[in-house]
Structure 1
Amino acid sequence: MLPSDLGDVYVSACGELTRLCPRLVPSPLWGISLANIANMSPYIADAMCSGCGDAVRRVRDWWFSLNRNGPCEVCGAPGAEIDEEWDYVVKGNEGIAVITHLRRLCRNCHLAKHQGYAKVHGLSEAAINHLARVNGVDVSTARRIVREVFGVWHTLNGVNWVVRINNDIGLPSDLRVKVEELMNTMLSMHCSRWDGWFHCLNTGGVCEKALQETLQLLKDVEDYDRLISTVEERLEKAGITVLKDELLFLINQNEVRRLLLMGRLDDDMLYVPVIGGKWMVFIRRRDIYGKVFIEIINELIRRDLHYESKTLFNPRDNEGGIPLIFYVPSFLALNVVINVANVINEVLIRYGIRTKAYFKPELFTNKSIYRGTTGLKPYIYIANVGKGD
């Protein structure tokens, strides 16, 4: 049932901006749209819900058949984008996001509609000016309404959302139901498209667990030499190779040394972007990469080890394999590092895949330490995972 009788949360703003109204997307819904479903890998979709891969293929055919070449339905300029109009209805802490209809917009109207995007990219003035012009209001009025819209948006980010699609959107009934299922499965797993990646966020308490383990390790060792030997001893015992030169280089970075020193005194000083890292494996088969990725995530969630994961949203030609990436909040949370590697290993065994997993610190990424760019390898730990038939 669509809750149109309850009213859209942006009704006040849209009552003043009647031709083009900016409805900001709540952050839990970022990256979830018909446009993104149309560009999604069917192999990821199939891993999320049965039959959803076929639904993605059908949506792709439908989406790219829509006419983008006519006049903008707001201002009459040449059209460029198919825009999804969403209503957001909230009751208590529960919300329903409804795709109500589609319309063709020019680039300027599309920018004016998406004020959040405009703000992030430094285009707010142009977006607000165009919003005022097409709605026939002065710029100060448009600016006031946009401020009010952002105020409403802030209240929506803690809401539990479900997605619905209007019956007359243009999708066959069976396809509409399947797309709703896919979108809501993505929501429940905190997954969405982000800069070309299929990105799934933390749903448990592993961050706190990892930081506490890091703090305890720092309190237990007396100096950095002892720290390195402890890391090597613990991980080698678990079958994980430690690259000592790369680990020493990491620990000697000013950001890490300062953080580790302060972390001994106050665990609030531990900062994930400095001590975090990620396990990476590369899968050559596109037809199974989605299933492997989702199975690893589900197992990490079950063991309260899932922090953040990503893979390509729709890989094309990846001769070196498709990256599956699983983040760990601290390279010194050795139990978490080991246990995440074990989960990756167990799932790859089920698929008969033998490969290596590489642990890359976030600081290496931030400092652009990649293969071949320095004398260092771009990772500090290596694990042999999976096995052949």
Structure 2
Amino acid sequence: MATASPIDSSPETRFGGLESCALPRLTVELVPATTICSNLRSILPPEDWDGIRRQAYQNAGYRCEICAGKGSSHPVEAHEQWTYVELPMPAGHTESWQVLTSIWALCPACHEVKHLGFAEQKGRLPQAMAWLAAINGWSFATTVAYAQEAFSTWRQRSRRPWGLDIGWLETIGWHPPVLRWPPSIRETFDVSSVRP
């Protein structure tokens, strides 16, 4: 990856304009519409994905890495932690990258909050919002403001193609044949008709 200074405008780093505030324990991480289905489960052979997620579960002691809880039907699920980086390029352009930074073991309730748009599609937005508020000790108003900021960031990120960088897998001993897909070869996606 280039060594230019990245720009990260996620709600996790600028919520409410209070950049110096501590990060919440549980955050919303909406995947841009232009990268939906660009996840490890869909791009790796099933046996590789199973090995990676099971390693994450075992490393976490089969407990959620956020709330230390467990789900009722299965203890934890694998969550891909991504960061979104925009690298300045010549002529005022930027190159956007979705970069894998870790795999977390999360209970189903915390994992549902991470993908709040999917929770909304399943009719579970009230439950997910309540869990987000409870884990972070937030009021309803603070939780709604945070979620609105996360959806705003999602809309902005969904307007452009993102390269995919899964090089982090090498740090845990996995060596997939392809580690990076540049944004120039990825299809753009019309987000105007999509609402998480």
TMscore range, shorter length? 0.7 to 0.9
Tell me the distance in 2 between the aligned counterparts of 1:4 and 1:108: 37
Tell me the distance in 1 between the aligned counterparts of 2:39 and 2:165: 11
Deviation at 1:2?
A: 6.5
Q: Deviations over 1:346-385 (max 9, x none)?
A: xxxxxxxxxxxxxxxxxxxxxxxxxxxxxxxxxxxxxxxx
Change (3 A) 1:111 1:169: farther
Change (3 A) 1:32 1:168: closer
The question of whether the paired residues in 2 share the 8 Å contact of 1:28 and 1:187 is answered with no
In structure 2, stretches of 5+ residues that fail to align are: 88-92, 191-196
Match in the other structure for 1:12: 14
Match in the other structure for 2:85: 89
Which letter maps to 2:154? Answer: W
Which letter maps to 1:74? Answer: I
Q: Deviations over 1:221-250 (max 9, x none)?
A: xxxxxxxxxxxxxxxxxxxxxxxxxxxxxx
Q: Deviations over 1:176-234 (max 9, x none)?
A: 4x2424xx28983539xxxxxxxxx89xxxxxxxxxxxxxxxxxxxxxxxxxxxxxxxx
Give yes or no for the alignment of 1:27 onto 2:33. yes
Give yes or no for the alignment of 1:127 onto 2:128. yes
Match in the other structure for 1:190: 187
The question of whether the paired residues in 2 share the 8 Å contact of 1:24 and 1:150 is answered with yes
In structure 1, stretches of 5+ residues that fail to align are: 39-55, 192-200, 203-389
Change (3 A) 1:37 1:187: farther
Change (3 A) 1:169 1:121: farther
Q: Deviations over 1:45-64 (max 9, x none)?
A: xxxxxxxxxxx366245235
The question of whether the paired residues in 1 share the 8 Å contact of 2:161 and 2:186 is answered with no
Q: Secondary structure at the match of 2:101?
A: strand
Aligned ranges 1:138-217 → 2 under 5 Å:
138-167=139-168, 170-172=171-173, 175-176=175-176, 178-181=177-180, 184=181, 188=185, 190=187
Q: Give the number of aligned pairs.
A: 172
Which letter maps to 1:136? Answer: G
Aligned ranges 1:62-101 → 2 under 5 Å:
62-68=51-57, 70-78=62-70, 79-91=75-87, 92-101=93-102
Which letter maps to 2:66? Answer: V
Change (3 A) 1:149 1:64: closer
Bigger relative contact order, structure 1 or 2, given CA contacts below 8 A and separation 6+? Answer: 2
Tell me the distance in 2 between the aligned counterparts of 1:188 and 1:20: 33
Which letter maps to 2:55? Answer: L
The question of whether the paired residues in 1 share the 8 Å contact of 2:29 and 2:115 is answered with yes
Which letter maps to 1:103? Answer: W
More helix by share: 1
Change (3 A) 1:187 1:179: farther
Which letter maps to 1:88? Answer: Y
Match in the other structure for 1:108: 109
Tell me the distance in 2 between the aligned counterparts of 1:33 and 1:18: 24
Tell me the distance in 2 between the aligned counterparts of 1:59 and 1:121: 28
Q: Secondary structure at the match of 1:65?
A: helix
Change (3 A) 1:111 1:122: same
Q: Deviations over 1:329-359 (max 9, x none)?
A: xxxxxxxxxxxxxxxxxxxxxxxxxxxxxxx
TM-score by length of 2: 0.73
Q: Secondary structure at the match of 2:54?
A: coil
Tell me the distance in 2 between the aligned counterparts of 1:62 and 1:180: 17
Deviation at 1:166?
A: 4.7
Tell me the distance in 2 between the aligned counterparts of 1:169 and 1:142: 36
Q: Secondary structure at the match of 1:117?
A: helix
Q: Secondary structure at the match of 1:23?
A: coil
Q: Deviations over 1:111-170 (max 9, x none)?
A: 111111011122111111111111122221011011011111111122231111354665
Deviation at 1:65?
A: 3.5
Change (3 A) 1:162 1:94: same
- When Rg is computed on C-alpha atoms for both structures, the one with the higher figure is 1
How big is the alpha-carbon RMSD for the aligned residues of Structure 1 and Structure 2? 3.1
Q: Secondary structure at the match of 2:179?
A: helix
